[in-house]
Structures are given as structure tokens and as C-alpha cells.
Chains A and B, each alone.
Chain A
Amino acid sequence: MVEMIGAKALITSLEKEGVDIVFGLPGGANLPIYDELVDANFRHILVRHEQAAAHMADGYARIKRKAGVCIATSGPGATNLITGIATAHADSIPMIAITGQVPLAMIGKDAFQETDIIGIANPCTKYSFQPRKAVEIPESVKKGFYIAESGRPGPVLIDIPKDVQQEKAEISFPDLIKVRGYNPAFDPDLLHIERAIDLMLKAEKPIIMAGGGVILSGAFHELQTLAELLMSPVVTTFKGKGSFPENHPLAMGPIGMHGHAEANKIIVEADCIIAIGARFSDRSVGRFDEFGKGMNIIHLDVDPAEIGKNKSVDVAVVGDVKSSLRTMVKLLSTKGIKQEPENFWLKRRKELIEYYNSTIKDYSRELTARKALKKLREILPAEAIVTTEVGQCQMWTSLHFDVITPGTFFSSTGLGTMGFGFPASIGAKAARPEVPVVDIAGDGSFNMTENSLAVSVLDKLPVIVFLLNNYMLGMVAQWQRTFYNRRYSGVHQYRCPDYVKLAEAYGAQGIRTESMSELEKALKTAVSSEVATVIDIPIDPEEDVYPFVAPGSGLKDMIVGG
């Protein structure tokens, strides 16, 4: 027991959790915390908008595979975090969001900068705490990290009234905590694993569908071993992109609305789908009723509530997918599976890839999104981290940028948050400063959080903004071309701003590229640059993303090209 104020208890608790960086912005209701931050043994990154703090914590968490921490004040500070918290929630990312709150006695009085952030955040947090006494803070933090990081990860909110931050008390720090009613760790049921194996071995046309759960649990090696044992082609969901090396001889790329044509095609031809850490989202599977019809579906997931939520399955294995896969692989390797590298199913895989590659029609311009992304892959080292914004830039990445090293790619796939990629890339850079980090952006998304350039420059977290610039809200424009008879509404950004000047205004580097050779040069400069680099790449506003599975359609009804 040590006497200290609540704010100090918070900082000490964070230190005890091994926190090495927090992202935040001060305000009236978190001043005591900011005062204690001066003496903290971890780094604080001052953001220019709280939304960016949450996205940075998110990007950091995705690379470190432990909770990222963000801090905001009460009221608008707290509500500004919400988009970032909801993004993390939709993608199951561990996060601790700490908000200041008005003093206890003022709660419910509609005080200045008071907001019921616990109520507002409820649907997009895994749990929330509001310590009412300083002595409760260490336990809230300890439980918060435990809940955020275990089972299916997610964001946890800790809302601390200002007087609780200031209250002096005899504080003790728990070593062990137990959360009654929360049992995230259970071993997969062996019986279910055996039934899954029976189905896998019976299958003539198995397909592995790897989702974000593989990345969250770090089951890269186990996934690859399973695929190689079964000789099964591997598709991923978009969130699962990068769970499996996309240059692997069994890889097929992501399925879904803007999935690879060959991936969408092969999954409807399969006879057994092995879904690993995937939740059968509408964007991935199209119509729930059509997807996997007549096939056996095996579903591995850590969250029991995902079983049967969108899709009824034949065998479910509930548990951390890494440990489920490990057991599965162990049992399978004793079965003496005969492997025929030239079997008809793998031939079919090759045939589909070759066919759809031959159908790709590129635009006649020298610089297209597709060619630019291929160039990016060529220049970037395999271990570089890549994230995206949301819209066409994101879907082109899904299609044309191969992730080689597992776990080096992420995107806001669930919530689809424009403006996510840039601050998240800064968080990722903080987590792994030794590798280049790239945000594949569109102009529309980048406009939303571009003021994080200040953070990137001042805090020496240089990232590369690979800006596919059509001065349009391109994905919306594409839908308006496709479904609204080319009646454009609210999509033009005109030629504003000038991104080179914008970058320079923040002390970053801005390069506009008009040709492939300029792009190559710019990329080489950017990779070794000490400051953030915005590479402005003008592309055709009419360049569409294909293939396209229209909303409400099944994968088999994919439109291949324009």
C-alpha cells in the first residue's frame, strides 16, 4: 500500500502492464493524468484529434498484438474517440481507452463537457469501467487489459471522474485478478477436432478460408502447415489478408465483394470449407443462404457466439484458433495423408488463376492504381507493414498488392473507417520502427485525418502515404456509375488540396509523380526518408475496382470486369 493520487495510480498501473506508449490529447477533465504523465516511464504521443489517438493505438495493437492505449478528456474528447473505438471493436482489436470525466458530484447535472461516454460507447466496447474511488483504479486497469487482450480481443473503456483522479488514497496493485462471468480461455473439444478432421479427409475439394482470427492469434505457421498437409488452396477474408503468404503455391487471395475472381470462383466449387477465425461477414460471403450451400462447413473460432450467427455449420471447434490448429495439425500428421501435388483440384486452382489473370484489362494510362500497387510491392521489402484507407484504394490493395510476410497487413475491414489508415500507420510505426510502414490511401480518406502529419513529423514516426489520387470519393463514384446511371452526387474533391504543399506545410516530404519511373524514384526516396512522405499519384477518376459482387448477390454472380 502506497499513498498516492488516483492519476498516479493510473500511470503506475499502466507501467505495470508494460505499456511503452500512449496516444492522447489533454483537456480539463484529464489534467491530473497529464500532470502525472510527465513522470511516466513510457512515451506519450500528442495527437491533433482524439480520433487519431484511437486509430494510432489500434495500429500499434495490431502489430504488437497487445492492447494499445489512448487517452482523451471528457465530453467532446471522449466522443471523438468513439469512431476509433468502434473501428477497433468491429475488428476485434485490443485497446484501452481512458477518458476523463466530470467530478462524481457533477455527473448527471449536464455539466460542461459532461457526456455519458459509458452509455455512448456501450455497443462498441467489450467492457467499460468507471472507478468511483481512487483505490479502484489499479483493479480496473488490470481487469481492463485482461478483458481487452484475452479471448476475442476488443476495446475496453476506463472513464475516470476528475475528483477520483485527484483523490489521495492508500493504493495497492493487484497481481492476480479474476473476472467472474468471463472465461475466455478454454481448450478446444477434441471430439469436435476429430469430427472436423474426418470431414477434411473426406473432402475432395477442400478450401481453407482464413480470417482475421488467424492474424489475431498469430497462427500463421499452423495455418500454413494445415494447408500443406491437406494440399488445400487457401482463400482469405479481407481481414484475413496476410494470414497466409500470398505468393505461396496454395494461396488464392481474398474472397468477397472485391475479392480475387479466382478465389470467389473456387470457393463456390469446393465441397468442404474450413473457415478459420472468420465470421462469415456479408462483405466476404455475399448471401448467407447461398454461401457454402451443399458443402460441409467447418468453423474454428474463439468466440462461441460466432458459431451459427450468420451461417449454420457442420462442425464447430470453439477455442483459440492457434491451439485448435496445433492440435488438428498434430492429429492430421499421424494420419498418413497421401499428397498428390498434381491432383485435379490443384490443377483447377492453377487454371482459374491463369484464366482470370488473362481477363484483367488494364487502363491504357501509364499510371494506374493497379500498376502503381505492383510497383509498390516490387520496391517494398517483404517485412514492410502496409495498411490502407477505405474505399477503392483499399479494394485495389486487396486485389493487386500481395502480402508476403504474414501479419504485416491490416485495414479497417469491419467498420470501414475512412481516415483510419494514416494514424494507424503511425501507430504501427511506433510498434515496429525498424521497418517501412505504408498507408495506401485515397484522397477522400486522407483528407479526414491528414493533420496526423504533425504527429508523424514531430514524433519522428515517418510513414509513407501512398496516395492514389483521383480527386474523387472514388468508390462512391463507382457505385453512382454502376447503380445510379452516372449521376454524380457529392463525390468531387476538385483539385484541393495540393498534397505536396500540404505535406511541406507540416515539415513532411511531398512528391507528385506523373510516371512509373517517377513513382519508382519517389518510393525509393520515401523508404529511406527520415520524415513522412506523401507520394501523390494521380490516377484516372474512371478507374473502377473489379471484380465486383453487388450487395445482396452471391459470390457466383460476380461481375468480372468493365
Chain B
Amino acid sequence: MSNVYLNSDDENKNVEIQLPYRILSVLVEDKPGVLFRITNLFRARNFNIASITVGSTEQKDLSRMTIATQSDSRTLDQLVKQLKKLIDVIDVRILDTGNTVFRELTLIKMKAPDPTTRMEISHFSGIFRAKILDIGKESMIVELTGTPDKIDAFINLVNHYGIIQIARTGISALRRGG
């Protein structure tokens, strides 16, 4: 499995432990308290969550969670087993990043106080196929969808303009084919 770095700002962390990110697709009952049970499991067993997304699926009483975690293989094995043990969890899949489509959506608000900056940002946005959602006197908001790598690359590119806020959704993923 290739390494997918979700958060390049966390450079210090990455120097300490270079663990690969793993992506789990977890099918769960769409009931109150299920998210709590899952996040509580991660906390109680000392597992790491890099990002977690939850949303409805093609079946109305089921939700799909996509969990990105930075774990070694033994911890990942435990994590999957512990998740499967939860009564509300129907299925857990470890996604093979080579055979999976995964996307993340990001909103980035950055400083853009002058026309030149605004021009440059729109130019970069075009290259990255980002959408400009808002332009104000002092700032711009850009929406970017892509793999976490692509989003990291864009953030690095525009970082020096001065980032005011970032909202990332975390990864959503589905396996290809079948």
C-alpha cells in the first residue's frame, strides 16, 4: 500500500513515526449512537483517526464511514477486528489504495488583498481545477476536490499568500470495478 499523506502540515509528527495511512470503508447501521460507538472504540483502544467521513448509502438504513488511520499492520489488523466486533458494524474493508477511487473536498480561505494576488490564485486554481467560490476585498475562498496529495500540493502552492482558514472533509472512497 502506498503512503498517502493527508496532512503535510504535520511534518513533525511524520518525522517521529512514518506510518502509512490506511483507509477503511465501514458499513454501519444508520442509527443514533453508532458514530459515538466507533469513535469511542478508537479512543479506548488507543487507535489513531486521521479523518472520518460519514454519509448515507444506496441503502436507506445503512451509512458508510470512510476512516483514514495511520497504523502499522498489526494495529490495523486489531482495529479491523475490533470494528467488526461492534454489533452495529455490518462490514469493514481495508481499501487497497492502488485499486480505489478516493477524494477529499477542501475549502480554503486565503488572503488576497490586491488584484495581482487574486489573478495568481485564479490561475493556480485553473491548473488544479479548483473552483473559486468567493472573492472579497481582502480574501478569496477556493473549493478543491481531489486526492489528499493533490490538495496538499495546492495548499503548499498558495501557502505563502497567507491562509486564513481551511476546512477539509476527510476522505471518501470506493473500490473500483465490481
- Chain A residues in the interface with B (C-beta under 8 A): 118-119, 122-123, 126-127, 147, 179-182, 303-305, 307-309, 312
Bound-complex Cα distance A110 to B44 (A): 26
Contact A305 B82 (CB under 8 A): yes
- Is B40 a contact of A123 with CB atoms below 8 Å? yes
Bitwise interface map of B from 75 to 94 toward A, beta carbon under 8 Å scored 1, else 0:
00110011011111111000
B40 touches A122 (CB 8 A): yes
Q: When chains A and B are docked, how far (Å) is the Cα of A418 from the Cα of B41? A: 27
B24 CB, min distance to chain A CBs, angstroms: 15
Q: Which residues of A contact B78 (CB under 8 A)?
A: 305, 308-309
Q: Given contacts A305-B78, A308-B78, is CB(A126)–CB(B87) below 8 Å?
A: yes
Interface-lining segment among B29-37, B104-112, B113-121, B166-174 = B29-37
A181 touching B29 in the complex, CB below 8 Å, given contacts A147-B87, A305-B78, A308-B78: yes
How far is A179 from B31 in the complex, measured between Cα atoms in Å?
Answer: 13
Cβ contact of A180, chosen from B74, B84, B90, cutoff 8 A: B90
A180 to chain B minimum Cβ distance, whole angstroms, is: 6
In the complex, what residue of chain A is closest to B78 when comparing beta carbons?
A309
Q: How far is the CA of A279 from the CA of B36 in the complex (A)?
A: 26
Centre residue among A118, A179, A181, A308 by max chain B CB count within 10 A: A181
A304: chain B residues at CB < 8 Å are: 81, 84-85
In angstroms, Cα B78 to Cα A284, docked, is 21
Chief secondary structure at chain A's binding surface:
loop
* Inter-chain contacts of A180 with B (CB < 8 A): 29, 90
Q: Which of A147, A179, A309 has the most CB of B within 10 A?
A: A309
Residue of B nearest to A147 (CB): B87
Known A-B contacts A179-B87, A181-B88; the reply to A305 vs B29 at CB < 8 A is: no
Q: 9 tightest CB-CB pairs across the interface, nearest first? A: A305-B81, A181-B90, A127-B87, A182-B87, A305-B85, A123-B44, A305-B82, A122-B40, A304-B81
**B88 to A, closest residue via Cβ:** A181
**How far does the alpha carbon of A307 sit from the alpha carbon of B77 in the complex, in Å?**
10
Q: In the complex, A181 Cα to B44 Cα: how many Å?
A: 21
How long is the Cα–Cα vector from A127 to B41 in the complex, in angstroms? 13
- Cβ A122 vs Cβ B37 within 8 A: yes
Question: Could you say which residues of chain B place their CB within 8 Å of the CB of A123?
Answer: 40, 44
**Can you spell out 22 A-B residue pairs with CB atoms less than 8 angstroms apart?**
A119-B36, A122-B37, A123-B40, A126-B87, A127-B87, A180-B29, A181-B28, A181-B86, A181-B88, A181-B89, A181-B91, A182-B87, A303-B85, A304-B81, A304-B85, A305-B78, A305-B81, A305-B84, A305-B85, A307-B81, A308-B78, A309-B81
- Complex interface: chain A residues within 8 A of B84 (CB): 304-305
**How far apart are B95's CB and chain A's nearest CB, in angstroms?**
20
**Residue on B nearest A310 in the bound complex, by CB:** B78
A376 to B74, alpha carbons, bound, how many Å? 46
- With a cutoff of 8 Å between Cβ atoms, the chain B residues found around residue A122 in the complex are 36-37, 40
Q: For A119, what are the chain B residues with a Cβ–Cβ distance below 8 Å?
A: 36
Q: How far is the CA of A123 from the CA of B28 in the complex (A)?
A: 18
Known: A181-B86, A181-B91, A308-B78. 11 other contacts (CB 8 A): A118-B33, A180-B90, A181-B28, A181-B89, A181-B90, A182-B87, A304-B85, A305-B78, A305-B81, A305-B85, A312-B74
User: Chain A contacts of B85 at CB under 8 A?
Assistant: 303-305
Residues of A within 8 A of B81 (CB): 304-305, 307, 309
Give the Cβ gap from B125 to chain A, nearest Cβ, in Å: 43
Q: In the assembled complex, which residues on chain A have CB atoms less than 8 Å from the CB atom of B89?
A: 181
CB-nearest residue of chain B to A304: B81
A307 to B84 alpha-carbon distance, docked (Å):
13
Q: Taking each of A123, A179, A305, which has the highest tally of chain B beta carbons within 10 Å of its own beta carbon?
A: A305
CB of A542, distance to nearest CB on chain B (Å): 39
Shortest distance between the CB of B55 and any CB in chain A (Å): 18
Closest to B28 in A: A181
Interface of chain B residues 30 through 89 with chain A (CB within 8 A): 33, 36-37, 40, 44, 74, 77-78, 81-82, 84-89
**CA distance in complex: A304, B89 (Å):** 15
Using CB atoms, name the residue of chain A closest to B32: A130
In the complex, which residues of chain B have a beta carbon less than 8 angstroms from the beta carbon of A181? 28-29, 86-91
Q: Which residues of chain A come closer than 8 Å to B77, judged between CB atoms?
A: 308
Output the least CB separation between A154 and chain B (Å).
Answer: 10
Q: Could you mark each residue 129-146 of chain B with 1 if its beta carbon is under 8 Å from any beta carbon of chain A, else 0?
A: 000000000000000000
Query: Hey, which chain A residues are within 8 Å of B29, CB to CB?
Result: 180-181
Taking the closest CB of chain A, its distance from the CB of B25, in whole angstroms, is 15
Instruction: Please measure, in the bound complex, the distance between the C-alpha atom of A307 and the C-alpha atom of B91, giving whole angstroms.
Output: 19
Contact partners of A118 in chain B: CB under 8 A = 33
Tell me the complex Cα distance, A126–B85, Å: 9
Residues of B within 8 A of A126 (CB): 87
Q: Which of B74, B82, B85 has the most chain A CB atoms inside 10 A of its CB?
A: B85
User: In the complex, A179→B87 CA distance in Å?
Assistant: 8
> In the complex, what distance in Å separates the CA atom of A304 from the CA atom of B77?
11
Whose C-beta in chain A lies nearest to the C-beta of B37? A122
A190→B29 CA distance, assembly (Å): 32
| Bound-complex Cα distance A308 to B40 (A) | 21
For A305, the chain B residues whose CB sits under 8 A away are 78, 81-82, 84-85
Contacts of B91 in A (CB 8 A): 181
Q: How far is the CB of B34 from chain A (nearest CB, A)?
A: 10
Distance in Å from the Cβ of A420 to the closest Cβ of chain B? 22
Distance between A522 CB and nearest chain B CB, rounded to angstroms = 45
A180 to B61, CA, bound (A): 11
